[in-house]
A = this chain, B = another copy of it.
């Protein structure tokens, strides 16, 4: 008879997601899935990578296949720094950059570096599920800040900073947020950083979608307003290039970055050197901005098709804002409608999505859905929204009839 194993106390909050279990069904080929957050694999530069992969091994295999520096491959860090300076109106160098295993690892290192049990993380309402999961093992309390289409409400943010003890981090996805697709105004970005300075709180700017803008002018990054080294900026190649190499980065002040480097060294030594060099060679010889223009053309069209279909099929009482970038549509359902229950019925129709409740760290809101528009082709988007609207209509009729 085995005594029960004694896991760490933090494991009490780490649970398998029932939603994730349900969504394993979405791998069936007949499924119309709006559930994932994946880039469209048709857009990966497979041909270029075929020859580059071989060349990196041929030209520098003995270095690329050996252990390497924790900070990451120098030439790649230089390229990322130059690109950030050009696009984000910042002034960083390789010394501000740590290559991570996807930007998800930047979230984990952030939790490890900053969060004591009981510390408070302020986040948008709703917020990115993966960040909630990354921070949870460090046992913070999440408090949601009121959020509208311009970003966090700065008055509510100030009020929380004034009244809540132990606020350590403010976590935001200012560009085309996951799950809502919203993009913060310039003013809200600047006020966020000034409040962080006033209350000595770290801001984590998670920036996976900033390059995927379909129209309008880019907003300055939150990092661009940072004067005192309180903003940690997370980037990734997963949405603009491909996720399979797991290459992301963390940009921060040297004081913060040095801590992350020590933690990363103890966590996994370094990120795949081969992957870093392949991406570095790709960037050397290709224009990523051209690629991104092609990607955003495809996603813009897919977004338009999804929103045309929503307008055509969804019943009254269902609302949504068309995002100007990113991968996601956020659909709010009438009060009282439970998207988890809708998902079960929707899967019977071979249509998948993520119920909105998953994105509220403290739960309590179930009448929303996150729909991804980047992976399905246009006919499937149309058909999927048609079927999904049917499920919503049936549920609305049930609510309307008091059932």
Contacts and interface: CB of A to CB of B under 8 A. Distances in A.
B11 A259 contact: yes
Interface string A284-328: 000000000000000000000000000000000000000000000
Nearest to A68: B244
A67 B41 CA distance: 10
A25 interface: no
Interface in A57-74: 57-58, 61-68
A403 interface: no
B65 A245 contact: yes
Interface string A214-246: 000000000000001110000000100011111
Given A259-B11, A267-B104, A53 B57 contact: yes
A133 interface: yes
A270 interface: yes
Contacts of A134: 266-267
Contact of A130 (B10, B228, B266): B266
Contact of A246 (B42, B137, B271): B271
A102 B273 CA distance: 12
A238 to B, nearest CB: 8
B44 A50 contact: no
A164 interface: no
Interface stretch (A105-113, A354-362, A379-387): A105-113
A91 interface: no
B138 A8 contact: yes
A388 interface: no
A178 interface: no
Contact of A113 (B8, B51, B68): B8
Contacts of A88: none
Contacts of A9: 116
A274 B275 CA distance: 8
Given A5-B255, A108-B268, A65 B44 contact: yes
A7 B259 contact: yes
B64 A244 contact: yes
A5 B230 contact: yes
A62 B42 contact: yes
Contacts of A68: 244
A192 interface: no
Contacts of A271: 101, 246
A350 interface: no
A3 B200 contact: yes
Given A14-B262, A272-B245, A275-B274, A6 B200 contact: yes
A46 interface: yes
A72 to B, nearest CB: 12
A142 to B, nearest CB: 14
Contacts of A64: 244
Contacts of A11: 113, 259
A49 B60 CA distance: 12
28 contacts: A5-B229, A5-B255, A7-B114, A8-B112, A8-B113, A8-B138, A16-B262, A42-B62, A44-B66, A46-B58, A49-B65, A50-B61, A53-B53, A53-B57, A54-B54, A67-B243, A101-B101, A104-B266, A105-B268, A134-B266, A134-B267, A136-B266, A244-B273, A246-B271, A246-B272, A246-B273, A268-B268, A272-B275
